[in-house]
A and B are shown apart, each in its own frame.
Chain A
Amino acid sequence: MKTSTLRNIALGIAVECAYALLIILVGFITCLLFSLKI
């Protein structure tokens, strides 16, 4: 595999994990708001 392909795959994995973490963040903020009774 070319270096550029490997770089794209690595960045792609990072972007996908960031998407998953964003969803986790939304979930956690929701939990926080409900626990604070806001």
Chain B
Amino acid sequence: MILRPRVEDARTIGYYLGKVIVGLGTVMLLPMVLGIACNEFNPALDFCIGAQISLIIGILLIKLCDTDKDLSWMQGMIVVSLSWLVAMVLGAIPMFLSGHWHSFLDACFDSMSGFATTGLTLVQDLDHLALSHNFWRHLIMFVGGQGIVIVILSLLVKGTSGAFKMYIGEARDEKILPNVVNTSRFIWLVSIVYFILGTLVLGVVGITEGMSKGSAFFHGACIFMAAFDTGGFTPQSQNILYYHSAAIEMVTIVIMILGAINFRLHYHIWMGNRREIAKNIETVAFFFSVSLLFVLVAVGLNQMQVYPYASMLFRKGFYQFISGHTGTGYGTLYAPQFISDWSQLALVGLIIAMALGGAVCSTTGAIKMLRVGVVMKALFQDIKRVILPDKSIVIQKFHHIRDVFLEDHQARTALIITLAYLALYGVGSLVGMLLGYPFLSSLFESTSAAANVGLSCGITQPAMPAALKITYIFQMWAGRLEFISVFTLIGFFVAAIRGK
């Protein structure tokens, strides 16, 4: 029997949702201040309106649903999944008011793409977008990369057990420190330290490439936020190709790889356990995955003979590949070049890399390296069981911060999430094909959306069908939250309708 949710459930969910919305409204004040400082008064007004609406809704929810009860698991999951949908709608308000998005759906698409650190975009005339709006696009990636709820946790919530449930619901199944609020603060520490270093390096490189100081550091900050959070937005419409700079490409590759590292691993390395990087299942799996899959891509590119020199192959082939594998979506190619210049084999290699992604508890999306490693170990274990004599006991270990003995439930969980991702990639491709796009293009774009990558082969544009925009929004949302909280929300609505 399904139990209908109680009024008390809705009240608790509303209270915590209100806190998240208030936090979001407060974040909107940053681009508003930047707009005023840069004499961009109309864009500043857009953010003023967005912040006002968010703060009014948030404060109303907190007052109407005021409760001192802690969140249950179900409520925590629903708060997280609803927070991301509400953030998408509220974050889209200033974007839509700017007039650079064709419709509110397009603004919602970019808002979800930003928060989910995907990078697919429907913006028009990006090169003339106001600085404050451009800053907002990158800021939502930075906030979404850390996790919207994580941001609120570290600012507004004081160490409740409900905080831990929201932390888990946001696809961060690894606790770095015993207290979840301290965990979220450590995630911020890593991001801020790298933000300062990354912006500084990118700013200096920009200046040496001929940009003015102000422009170099603004671009540096924006590029860093989108690269470390494996997002993919850039301040210019031509993405990283705009800079025509091997140095910027090199620095962004390093930042993208740093963003694809598990925050728990960052913690252990920063606390002195530096050998962990050579032993950890995720870093080892990522290294082998990059090495092997790029050979596949290089063979494919070699068939087409479009990049005959090593430097070209590196800047056009390896750059898109590593951008796809880390889930960033930065590119040095125009979108249609994937279809015109790349062979099918190279595209398949890139799609596999996008589908696998980076580390768990990092800012990347997709299946992720820990699950790939665990599934491979489980496969080896089964092969050993078949090969070795019946009486032998087969034990499989893997190293993730400490030595872990592989158990069946770990392999099962990893496989279920892997299958869910494969299904999500498949559903998007199917919708693409139903709307008339070719198979490989549909699979490429669908995988890019669901794995929160952001590379596009040309399907994503303002003229694409609304059904496909909604499908990609759903894929970005479900892929970012890794399904559990999304399924819980669906279950909640089913219980509300059919429960007793």
Indicate with 1 or 0, residue by residue over A1-38, a CB within 8 angstroms of chain B CB atoms: 00000001101110111011111101110111011100
Which residues of chain A are within 8 angstroms of B277 by Cβ–Cβ distance? 15-16, 19
Q: How far is the CB of A37 from chain B (nearest CB, A)?
A: 8
- A36 CB, min distance to chain B CBs, angstroms: 8
A24 with B310: CB separation less than 8 A: no
A19 & B298 in contact (Cβ 8 Å cutoff): no
Question: In the complex, A13→B287 CA distance in Å?
Answer: 18
- Interface residues in B286-339 (C-beta closer than 8 Å to A): 286-287, 290-291, 294-295, 298-299, 301-302, 308-311, 313-314, 317-318, 321-322
Q: Chain A residue with minimal CB distance to B287?
A: A23
Q: Which of B250, B269, B322 has the most CB of A within 10 A?
A: B269
Q: Is B257 an interface residue (CB 8 A)?
A: yes
Contact partners of A36 in chain B: CB under 8 A? 310
| Least CB separation from A4: chain B residue | B272
Asked if A28 and B266 make an inter-chain contact with CB atoms under 8 angstroms apart, the answer reads no
A20 touches B254 (CB 8 A): yes
The 8 Å CB contact of A27, one of B270, B271, B290, is B290
Bound: A9/B269 CA distance, A: 8
Q: Name the prevailing secondary structure of the B interface residues.
A: helix
**CB nearest neighbor in B for A8:** B272
Q: Is B148 an interface residue (CB 8 A)?
A: no
- B258 touches A (CB below 8 Å): yes
Q: Which chain A residue has the least Cβ–Cβ distance from B265?
A: A16
B350 to chain A, nearest CB (A): 14
B388 within 8 Å of A by Cβ? no
C-alpha gap A8/B189 in the complex (Å): 14
Cα distance A27–B21 in the bound complex, in angstroms: 43
Closest chain B residue to A32 by CB distance? B310
| Neighbouring A residues of B310 by C-beta, 8 Å | 28, 31-32, 34-36
In the complex, what's the smallest C-beta–C-beta distance from B291 to chain A, in angstroms?
5
Confirm or deny: B197 has a beta carbon within 8 angstroms of a beta carbon on chain A. yes
**B261 located at the interface, meaning its Cβ lies under 8 Å from any Cβ of chain A in the complex:** yes
Instruction: Give the docked Cα–Cα distance between A35 and B194 (Å).
Output: 35
Q: Which residues of A contact B271 (CB under 8 A)?
A: 8, 12
Number of chain B residues whose Cβ lies closer than 8 Å to a Cβ of chain A: 37
Contact digits for B187-206, partner A, Cβ 8 Å, 1 yes 0 no: 00000011001000000000
Complex Cα–Cα for A13 and B267 (A): 11
Interface contact A16-B258, CB-CB below 8 Å: yes
Give the distance in Å from the alpha carbon of A31 to the alpha carbon of B287 in the complex. 16
* B274 close to A27 (CB less than 8 A): no
Known A9-B193, A23-B290, A31-B314: A15·B257 in contact at CB below 8 Å: no
B274/A26 in contact, CB under 8 A: no
Q: In the complex, A15→B318 CA distance in Å? A: 22
Chain A residues near B17 (CB-CB < 8 A): none
CA gap between A4 and B310 in the complex, in Å: 42
Residues of B within 8 A of A16 (CB): 258, 261, 266, 269, 277
- Residue B283 at the chain A interface, CB threshold 8 Å: yes
A13 touches B294 (CB 8 A): no
Which one, B193, B197, B253, B299, contacts A20 given CB within 8 A? Answer: B253
* Known contacts A12-B269, A13-B197, A16-B261; A23 and B314 CB within 8 A of each other: no
Given A23-B257, A27-B290, A27-B314, check contact A35 B308 (CB 8 Å): yes
Q: Hey, which chain B residues are within 8 Å of A11, CB to CB?
A: 272, 274
Q: How far is the CB of B265 from chain A (nearest CB, A)?
A: 9
Q: A6 CB to closest chain B CB, in angstroms? A: 10
- Per the bound structure, the CA–CA distance linking A26 and B253 in Å amounts to 13
Which residue of A has the minimal Cβ distance to B189? Answer: A9
Inter-chain contact B253/A15, CB cutoff 8 Å = no
Task: Give the shortest distance, in Å, between B77 (CB) and chain A (any CB).
Answer: 32
Given contacts A27-B322, A31-B310, contact A20 B274 (CB under 8 A): no
Answer whether A27 and B283 are a contact pair too, CB < 8 Å, given A12-B270, A20-B254: no
Query: Bound complex: CA of A26 vs CA of B254, how far in Å?
Result: 13
Residue on B with the closest CB to A7? B272
Query: In the assembly, what is the distance between CA of A30 and CA of B109, in Å?
Result: 37
The answer to whether B257 touches A20 (Cβ under 8 A) is yes
How far is it, in angstroms, between the C-alpha of A35 and the C-alpha of B286 when the chains are bound? 24
17 contacts between A and B (CB under 8 A): A8-B270, A9-B193, A16-B258, A16-B266, A19-B257, A21-B254, A23-B257, A23-B322, A24-B253, A26-B294, A27-B314, A27-B318, A30-B318, A31-B314, A31-B318, A34-B299, A36-B310
**Given pairs A9-B193, A12-B272, A23-B286, 12 additional interface contacts (CB within 8 A):** A20-B253, A22-B287, A24-B253, A26-B290, A26-B294, A27-B321, A27-B322, A28-B310, A30-B295, A30-B298, A31-B317, A34-B302
Q: Please report A residues at the B interface, Cβ cutoff 8 Å.
A: 8-9, 11-13, 15-17, 19-24, 26-28, 30-32, 34-36
